[in-house]
Structure 1
Amino acid sequence: MDFSKEVREKSSLAHIRQASPLVHCITNYVVSNVTANGLLAIGASPVMADELEEVQEMVSIAGGLLLNIGTLNARTTDSMLAAGKQANRLGIPVVLDPVGVGATSYRQRFVQRLLSEINFDLLRCNRGELAAIAGVAWQSRGVDSGEGSQDIKEIAKQVAKQYRCLVAVTGDWDYVTDGEREAMITGGDIRMTAVTGMGCLLSAICAAALSLPGDRFKHLQGVLQDYKLAAEIAGAQPKIGSFQVEIMNALEQLSAGERL
């Protein structure tokens, strides 16, 4: 992949750094730290407020909202609904990360409620999560993507049309669609799946990208490409602990246009 200065300066991450949006994340406690640090690495400002009494006020000053159901509980469900509805009222983009939605009926019911009561700008998920939302057969376990024989691209298009949103399906290859336009992104490093929170961080970065003016589809396509590139840069590290640190370094470098 071309690491030229020209490519880096035009990266979507660089545009995020220039805009420095506040991203309100109601996310799971497993990934809060890596999500916050990853947003800071690209010049965005994270806030992790999930108290019901303040989420509407907090989201009103944000550029984007992320709802992540990884550690779903009765307290945060009300906060997610309140924040999402307030974001809709104010025209603030909302991203849904339906972590492990197919694992339990509780998660399935709540995600369906979210999708029926909130207008999402983006659904960022893995293949198994997309299949669960679409109601098609898939072999998955917990939060893992799993395997299936269905055409993921067609399912993504159908879900995008049904919920009038962008859909980004990520994994060893990524696919983004608005129901009509589509783009596939390859590359990356398989060890991204061995580090907790890499997909959740990507969802938060997507929320930052959606806050930018212009073509949201293009912004998301660019973010997915940048994220794959960051994984490849970090892949030079032989050990998983160093790999995790180098992901943050690569995100900062790509967003700042530094020499690699």
Structure 2
Amino acid sequence: MDASIIKKVRRAQPLIHHLTNQVVMNFTANGLLAFGGSPIMAKAKEEAEDIGKIVDGVLINIGTVMPQDVQSMILAGKTANERDIPVVFDPVGVKASSFRNEVAKEILQVVRPTIIKGNASELAYLANIPWESKGVDSVGTGDVEEVAIKIAQIYETTVVLTGETDVICTGEELIHNMLGHELLTRMTGAGCLLGSIITACLTTNDPTELQAKTAVSFYGLAAQYAATRQNVTGPGTFIPQFIDALSMEVEALRGGNYA
């Protein structure tokens, strides 16, 4: 983790265009604001290009995608590519329906993601590797490194594969993150917010693999810190403590009592 990347984000307060899961918009916006970025939620195709011209990064998340959203996602992604600003693509539940699968394929044919982020079953599906899932969740087991490497090769991008151990693959290097907490799996939108934090970190002038590692490890560290606060008794009390932790300095989080 490079704490200077987080400091750069907080100084710049990058504006991140979210074309994301409607279920988690409020949580994502609050989480990014706490971290130090600035969210804008805009899905109308009529404004996708205009918004794309003023933002610092774009997050495309197909968690609750509707047919009318697809063109907006493509326009926003292509505008970001033209401006050479970061794009994060999150194929939420891509395996759950043929519609989601077709949407992901359509987007990936014309938009070049800086990072593709997803759980093992989502990315395994995109890589044509068998993997068990339940709805939008990954419940199977297998070689996560193989999946990450294959996605990085197919799409010529950096991959963030989330799970008990997160795997970041640049195509040439594998980075592992074991920071995190089980409570992240018991709340809606943990992965969606992570995509937003990653997008914000990608706006600095640092190597992509270091930006991704910093985002993922800081996120996990914040979760560990929040989970150990005295008044946290479960997912409901964890969430506000987690939002608070996302606003803290790395040094303060590392000083937490994780007993």
TM-score norm. by structure 1 comes to 0.92
Runs of 4+ aligned residues of structure 1 deviating over 2 Å after TM superposition are 9-15, 254-260
Q: Deviations over 1:136-176 (max 9, x none)?
A: 11111111112033x21122112112211110011211010
1:233 to 206, 214, 225: 225
Q: Deviations over 1:36-74 (max 9, x none)?
A: 001100111100011111111101111110000000101
Q: Which residue matches 1:249?
A: 244
Q: Deviations over 1:188-232 (max 9, x none)?
A: 110101110010000011111111112111011011111110010
Matches within 5 A, 1:84-163: 84-149=77-142, 151-163=143-155
Q: Which has the higher contact order (CA 8 A, sep 6+)?
A: 1
2:200 to 208, 214, 221: 208
- How many angstroms does 1:15 deviate by? 2.8
Partner SS for 1:212: coil
Q: Which residue matches 1:195?
A: 187
- How many angstroms does 1:240 deviate by? 1.6
Q: Which residue matches 1:79?
A: 72
- How many angstroms does 1:14 deviate by? 2.9
* Structure 2 segments unaligned to the other structure (5+ residues): none
CA distance in 2, matches of 1:207, 1:255: 19
CA distance in 1, matches of 2:150, 2:164: 21
Partner SS for 2:241: helix
Instruction: Check whether the contact 1:39–1:46 (CA below 8 A) recurs between aligned residues.
Output: yes
2:43 to 42, 46, 50: 50
Instruction: Check whether the contact 1:14–1:42 (CA below 8 A) recurs between aligned residues.
Output: no
- 1:11/1:34 CA distance change after superposition, 3 Å: farther
Q: Which residue matches 1:66?
A: 59
Partner SS for 1:34: helix
Q: Give, as a single letter, the amino acid of the residue that structure 2 aligns with 1:254.
A: E
Q: Which residue matches 2:174?
A: 182
TM-score norm. by structure 2 comes to 0.93
CA distance in 2, matches of 1:25, 1:233: 27
CA distance in 2, matches of 1:88, 1:240: 37
- How many angstroms does 1:10 deviate by? 2.3
Q: Percent identity over the alignment?
A: 37
Instruction: Check whether the contact 1:20–1:44 (CA below 8 A) recurs between aligned residues.
Output: yes
Output the aligned Cα RMSD. 1.7
